[in-house]
Amino acid sequence: MAYKPFDLSGKVALVTGGNGGIGLGMADAMAQSGAAVAIWGTNEEKNAKAEAQLKAHSVQVYTRKVNVANEQEVIDGIGETVKALGRIDSVFANAGVGFGSPSFVDMKTETYRKTLAVNLDGVFWTLRESCRHMVDRAKSGDTGGSLVGVASLAAIEGAARNQAYAATKGAVISMMKSCAVEFARYGIRANSILPGWIATDMTANAQENKAFAEKVIPRVPARRWGEPGDFGGVAVYLASDASSYHSGDTFVIDGGYAIF
């Protein structure tokens, strides 16, 4: 029998913030590998475009408008996703926002709260409700599941003028490690992904900044911006049975930037 650990046929993956950027890059790869995919996003037009892209891979796709900063929307979203696709085998808590500030001392409390609401509260509620579903399945004899939190290099490096964002991403790593320990008995693993400089809508200003292009990107050993598609491989791995004994880890996807 051929070794096919990366075949995701029969599995269901949920990707929050999955209608663009890194989220869509991961969702597309998992769809190509045979997974049914659920996409949550706040922009219904982008949700529809993502749905059409994923359905081209002949898999079942479910999209839903969900603001992860709203607890009830997340609770309802998990319930409706399970109802639509039958189960959730892996969840990628990817939805996030980034609000910079001229300096830390000038950062407004509103900016701080808005960042935490999506990047931390949203991840917390998404993971909590997903764990509840996976544990219930496990108690019925259907063990297994994969929890993935998308953090950032900002979690482990000094992100000047971006303390709120960095704090949320550091917290995501800690939350994933806690889940890895608590839910291992149910066959559920939990890991974090730390993107580096990736060309997405969130980094549009940096991409258009000449000084950034001349001073920062040349420091990336890969000598280029990362692309959403660069996250397809790690997503398929973490959603697949190949990672069934891999938990509590952090995957740095940055072209070597953090070590250079």
Domains in the chain, ordered, with CATH?
Answer: 12-200+227-253 (3.40.50.720)
Provide the terminal-to-terminal Cα distance of the chain, rounded to the nearest Å. 42
Residue 4 confidence (pLDDT): 86
Catalytic pick from 165, 186, 237, 257?
Answer: 165
The dihedral sign for the CA sequence 41, 168, 126, 234: positive
* C-alpha–C-alpha distance, residues 69 and 82, integer Å: 20
Residue-level pLDDT at 42: 97
pLDDT, residue 204, reads 85
b (16+ CB within 10 A) / e for 101-110: beeeeebeee
Active site residue 165: yes
Cα-Cα-Cα-Cα torsion 33, 175, 180, 130, nearest 10 degrees, comes to -50
Options 90, 130, 146, 152, the catalytic residue: 152
Give me the pLDDT at residue 100, please. 80
Residue 186 annotated in active site: no
Tokens of residue 107, six digits: 């950062």
Q: Which residues of the chain have pLDDT under 70?
A: 1
pLDDT at residue 17, as a whole number: 98
Q: What is the pLDDT of residues 203-252, one digit of tens each?
A: 888 888 888 888 889 999 999 999 999 999 999 999 999 999 999 999 99
Out of 90, 169, 240, 243, the active site residue is 169
Q: Reduced to 3 states, what is the DSSP secondary structure of residue 66?
A: coil
Cα distance between residue 86 and residue 51, in whole Å: 18
- Angle of the 232-239 helix axis to the 21-32 helix axis, nearest 10: 60
